[in-house]
């Protein structure tokens, strides 16, 4: 049955949107290793002055019982209710360049209607293309740059940035559906999958946020200020290294990951798809639980609230 309701509302007195802007998509949901997406959403909301154009309806798209919103309790009364947000906004980068930012939670329901609505908005504003990023956990060492798998129809980005090209089937996200629909529509699309160290996947990893921002900058030409995130990155990596250096077993595990990573990178050919089945094989690698247990007391702290991930502690 066709969807008959409205899933979004246009904002009154929204700013005029120039035609031909890039569309940046950031959705939290099925996987967000290292909090790369949620961290970048928070950073962009703080640094790019996003002005909402369209707000999507939580009552239509969100499963509240699966991802509960946050409410504040002060001794004997409730003080603030913070619902999740999914908005299309007009944002401004560090050089004054405008772009469209579709950011927030991944819809639980009405994916086809969501994709149709986003395509209609993209047509209305004549966007130059869809650019999105998400992150997954992989058995790779934190001592090496975060790699990416790249999808879409922009071959120059695939060749330059894709370090792993698997042939596989994976659970789809709403971002995948949007990429697929935009490509069918004939638009330029690129999707970056960050390959985040599996033993740090449940931590707030500033390096993952930086990697996500850098990939989007490479795809769009935007400039995102990252000074504050860079400062947090240095502190984060220092704490991780201190814990690893203080434990012989952890050192051996990380060194094993480094050997596999370096051997894989040395043998791959970016123009040749023959390396897709090799490389990052999870069999006979140290488990995430083994590493995470050792790092937990340093890295388990998370913010008390996260509006983009309601219900997560």
pLDDT higher than threshold 90 for residue 190: yes
Report the C-alpha gap between 228 and 105 in whole angstroms.
24
Of 3, 98, 11, nearest to 49 by C-alpha is 98
Of 113, 3, 109, 4, nearest to 59 by C-alpha is 109
Cβ within 8 Å of residue 181, ≥6 positions away: 115, 116, 119
Report the C-alpha gap between 204 and 253 in whole angstroms.
21
Q: Please state the rounded mean pLDDT for residues 127-138.
A: 96
Return the pLDDT at 265: 85
More confident site: 251 or 58: 58
Report the C-alpha gap between 184 and 176 in whole angstroms.
12
Q: In what order do the strands lie in the sheet with 86-92?
A: 8-10, 51-56, 86-92, 98-105, 22-28, 129-138, 189-197, 147-152
CA distances from 53 to 87, 89, 97 (A): 7, 5, 17
What is the SS3 assignment for 154?
coil
Report the C-alpha gap between 170 and 159 in whole angstroms.
22
Q: How many CB atoms lie within 10 A of CB 40?
A: 26
Report the C-alpha gap between 112 and 16 in whole angstroms.
27
Digit-coded pLDDT (tens) for 59-82: 999 999 998 999 999 999 999 999
Return the pLDDT at 249: 82
Beta strand 22-28 with 129-138: parallel, antiparallel or unpaired?
Answer: parallel
Digit-coded pLDDT (tens) for 288-307: 454 455 455 445 543 433 44
Cβ within 8 Å of residue 190, ≥6 positions away: 129, 130, 131, 132, 150, 151, 152, 153, 154, 157, 219
Digit-coded pLDDT (tens) for 195-222: 999 989 999 999 999 999 999 999 999 9
Q: Model pTM? A: 0.85
What is the SS3 assignment for 25?
strand
What is the per-residue DSSP string for 206-234? HHHHHHHHHHHHHHH------HHHHHHHH
Return the pLDDT at 166: 85
Torsion over CA: 114, 120, 123, 127 (sign): negative
Report the C-alpha gap between 8 and 189 in whole angstroms.
23
What is the per-residue DSSP string for 65-123? TTSPPEEEEETTEEEEEE---EEEEEEE-TTS-EEEEEEEEPPSS-HHHHHHHHHHHHH
């Amino acid at each position: 049955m066709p969807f008959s309701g409205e899933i979004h509302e246009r904002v009154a007195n929204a700013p005029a949107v120039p035609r031909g802007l890039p569309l940046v998509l950031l959705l939290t949901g099925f996987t967000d290793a290292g909090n790369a997406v949620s961290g970048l959403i928070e950073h962009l909301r703080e640094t790019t002055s996003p002005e909402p154009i369209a707000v999507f309806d939580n009552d239509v798209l969100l499963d509240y019982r699966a991802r509960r919103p946050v409410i504040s309790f002060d001794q004997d009364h409730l003080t603030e209710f913070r619902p999740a947000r999914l908005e299309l906004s007009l944002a401004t980068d560090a050089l004054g360049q405008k772009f469209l930012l579709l950011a927030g939670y991944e819809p639980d329901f009405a994916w086809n209607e969501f994709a149709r609505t986003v395509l209609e908005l993209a047509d209305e504003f004549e966007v130059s293309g869809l650019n999105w990023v998400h992150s997954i956990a992989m058995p790779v060492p934190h001592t090496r740059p975060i790699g990416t798998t790249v999808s879409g129809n922009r071959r120059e980005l695939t060749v330059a940035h894709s370090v792993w090209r698997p042939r596989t089937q994976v659970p789809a996200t709403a971002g995948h559906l949007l990429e697929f629909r935009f490509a069918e529509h004939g638009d330029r699309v690129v999707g970056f999958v960050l390959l985040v160290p599996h033993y740090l996947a449940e931590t707030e990893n500033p390096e993952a946020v930086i990697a996500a921002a850098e990939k989007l900058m490479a795809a769009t030409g935007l400039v995102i200020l990252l000074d504050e995130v860079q400062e947090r990155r240095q502190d984060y990596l220092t704490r991780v290294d201190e814990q690893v250096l203080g434990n012989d077993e952890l050192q051996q595990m990380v060194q094993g990951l480094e050997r596999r990573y370096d051997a894989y990178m040395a043998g791959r050919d970016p123009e040749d798809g023959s390396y897709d089945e090799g490389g990052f094989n999870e069999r006979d690698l140290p488990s995430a639980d083994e590493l995470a247990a050792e790092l937990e007391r340093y890295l388990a702290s998370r913010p008390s609230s996260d509006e983009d991930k309601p219900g997560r502690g």
